[in-house]
Structure 1
Amino acid sequence: MRLRLARRSAATQTAQAVSVHAQGQHRNLMRRNELRAVSPDPLRPEARLRWRDHFTLSENLLHVPGMHPEHDGLRIAHLSDIHVGQATSAVRIRRAVAEVNASNPDLVFLTGDYVTHSPKPLPRVIELLTGFNSPVFVVLGNHDHWVDASYLRTGFERLGYTVLQNEHRVVHVRGAPVTILGIDDGRTGRDDVEATFRGAPESGTRLVLTHAPPTVEKLPPDANLVQFSGHTHGGQFVVRGLTEAIFRRAGQPYIQGHYHVRGNQLYVNMGLGFGFGGPYLRRGTYPEVAFFTLRPVESAVTH
Structure 2
Amino acid sequence: MAQHLTTDVVIVGAGFAGLSAADQLTAQGYGVVVLEGRSRVGGRSFGGEIAGVPIDLGAAWVGARHPELLELAQRFDCATLPQYHEGKNVLNLGGRRSTYRSDIPPVSPITLLDMGRVKYALDRLTSTVDLETPWKTPNAHALDAMTFGDWLRRKRATAKTRALMETISKVQWGCPSDEVSMLHVLTGMRALGGLDHMLAVEGGVEQDRFAVSLHQIAVRLAASLGDRVLTDTAVRRIEQDADGITIHTDGPSVQGRRVLVATAASQSARVLRAFTSRPSVLTLRSSRATAGRCTPKSSSG
Pick the TM interval, shorter chain: under 0.3
Q: Which protein, 1 or 2, shows the higher relative CO under an 8 Å CA cutoff with sep ≥ 6?
A: 2
Which structure has the highest helix share of the two? 2
